[in-house]
A and B are shown apart, each in its own frame.
Chain A
Amino acid sequence: GRQVIPAAPSVRRLARELHVDIHDVHGSGIAGRISEEDVRRAAGTPSVA
């Protein structure tokens, strides 16, 4: 099956900082790409834009 986590290195690091398992994050971008905002949403702490 698929193994690529479509998230930039900085986004993956943010997930670790927020104790979010990147595998559980829904990517809202093209090709399922995971944004910083997706990670913050998964952590329950969305940033105020």
Chain B
Amino acid sequence: MTKQMDFDLLVIGAGPGGYHAAIRAAQLGLKVACAEREALGGVCLNVGCIPTKALLHAGEMMAAAHEAADFGLSFGEQKLNVQKLNGWKDGIVKKLTGGVGALFKANKVTHLVGQASFVDPHTVKVGDKTYTASNIIIATGSEPARLPGLEVDQQNIVDSTGALVVPDPIPARMLCVGGGVIGFEFAHVYNNLGAKVKVIEFLPSIIPGADADAVKEFSKAMKKQGIEIETQTKANKAEKKADGIHVELESVKTGEKRTEVFDRVLVAVGRRPRTDGLNAQAAGVTVTDRGFIPADREQRTNVPHIYAIGDVAGNPMLAHKAMKEGLVAAEVVAGKPAAQDAVAIPGVVYTSPELAWVGLTEQEAKDKGYQVKTGNFPFSASGRAMTLQQTDGFVKMVVEKDTDLVLGVHIVGPHASDMLGEASLALEMAATAADIALTIHAHPTLGESVLEAAEAVHKQAIHIMNR
């Protein structure tokens, strides 16, 4: 007879991946524990997706109040109570993280508080107690990558966590080091709150991974709002002086150096997997040089009863990817034939306009050997976008020429993130552009632009000239 284990499944980490895994496993009848050393909900709920989106909304309301003057609505002088803004944001976080705790209770998931570290392949120490489990899921997440020369103090030089606390007064000049999703979301927040913002990116293009046309359109919209963008630029060092933070910037192309002064610097140059304190070697789990724990389609590590999900398992580091992988791992543990077989993982930048995409970019499709057709529909031709006063951007659809199968959808525009659900479903269902074009979309809606982009693929969009 085998030794009785304390749990069928022990999940390490209660972020999006971890709590999804724990709850799904409990739904499937397993005895589950979830260990968390910090707050329930992980990075996404506490210091990531949720508080960032709250600040973005606040900034957009301020911008929208100005724009309302175009249709005769004025609100008088804007006054921002920074303390209240921070409090409102924190309240949302508290409500959601409390919700995770309530879901754990309702699903009878045992919440273990403390740092978890492996003792052996079936034993995990959490705090000062040890627990045994038949299966273990590693969901320890990631943390902001560091940049030598720019030491984060969370006051003047901040990472994404520090940037979530809006200072009073709002910094006059702000530098965002890193032109990825996080860099641009904070650039947008602080630009709307009144800062003069510059974004620098080491690579030739911002938002790596996004479609080149979409990035160009997005970049144009950001610049129109006053955000400065310098690509192929790096920050070497930062020094705090009486008049501000002196940052040495260097052109990657020419090697030319110059110093500029800012009131706040955000370091957003990526994230690195977090496995500190985990003692994965005690379980024989492979950790790569970069700190990732590789997993297969069933989310299994090299040790078959130990799984890895979310940021720690690899890129892209996105909450919805972690959630899916958590469900897959939990279902595999429960003996179900699950696999991480998603056609595409959507990506979103929650600025205004938003940049959202799913599937292959035009270039990626070509690189993979597809013959492609594309269709574009600009929001400037959308009646709904006009009524919302948000006509920047477009929907671009990338389609396989012969089969008409949709390979990718790239949206720059209002509510692009919400429209993306249709595109994701289209890819998962192997929809053709014709399927989308033949589907009645409500009028007037922003979503019609997806239909019109599909029509444009066939050169028969109605609201634009087809070329």
Contacts and interface: CB of A to CB of B under 8 A. Distances in A.
Contact of A1 (B338, B341, B369, B428): B369
Contact of A3 (B368, B403, B404, B428): B368
B430 A31 contact: yes
Contact of B370 (A2, A5, A8, A17): A2
The 7 closest A-B pairs by CB, nearest first: A6-B430, A16-B337, A31-B403, A17-B337, A8-B429, A31-B405, A9-B428
A48 interface: no
A16 B332 CA distance: 12
Interface of A: 1-9, 12-13, 16-17, 30-33
B107 interface: no
Interface in B390-404: 400, 403-404
Nearest to A16: B337
A31 B437 CA distance: 16
Contact of A31 (B339, B369, B432): B432
Given A6-B405, A13-B338, A31-B430, 4 more contacts: A2-B370, A4-B407, A9-B429, A30-B432
B345 to A, nearest CB: 14
Contacts of A4: 343, 400, 405, 407, 430
B403 A32 contact: yes
Contact of A16 (B339, B368, B405): B339
A49 to B, nearest CB: 22
B337 A13 contact: yes
A34 B403 CA distance: 14
Interface string B401-429: 00111010000000000000000000011
Interface string B196-208: 0000000000000
B337 A8 contact: no
Interface residues of B, number: 17
B229 to A, nearest CB: 33
Given A31-B404, A32-B403, A8 B430 contact: yes
User: Which applies to chain B's interface (DSSP): helix, strand, loop or mixed?
Assistant: loop
Interface string B343-363: 100000000000000000000
Contacts of A3: 368
A33 to B, nearest CB: 5
Contacts of B339: 12, 16
A25 to B, nearest CB: 13
Contacts of A17: 337
Contacts of A6: 403, 405, 430
Nearest to B298: A16
Contacts of B429: 8-9
B341 A12 contact: yes
Interface in B365-402: 368-370, 400
Nearest to A13: B337
A25 B405 CA distance: 18
18 contacts: A2-B370, A4-B400, A4-B430, A6-B405, A6-B430, A7-B430, A8-B428, A8-B429, A9-B428, A12-B339, A13-B337, A13-B338, A16-B339, A17-B337, A31-B404, A31-B432, A32-B403, A33-B430
Contacts of B404: 31
Nearest to A15: B337
A13 B368 CA distance: 26
A5 B430 CA distance: 8
Nearest to A33: B430
A7 B403 CA distance: 14
Contacts of A30: 432
Of the listed residues A1, A8, A31, the one surrounded by the most CB atoms of chain B closer than 10 A to its CB is A31
Nearest to A32: B403
A23 to B, nearest CB: 11
B405 A1 contact: no
Contacts of A5: 343, 430
A47 B403 CA distance: 28
Contacts of B368: 1-3
A2 B428 CA distance: 15
B105 to A, nearest CB: 30
B432 A2 contact: no
B277 to A, nearest CB: 35
A37 to B, nearest CB: 15
Contacts of A8: 428-430
Contacts of B430: 4-8, 31, 33
Contacts of A32: 403
Contacts of B405: 4, 6, 31
A17 B430 CA distance: 20
A1 B369 CA distance: 5
A16 B328 CA distance: 13
B436 to A, nearest CB: 13
Of the listed residues B370, B404, B430, the one surrounded by the most CB atoms of chain A closer than 10 A to its CB is B430
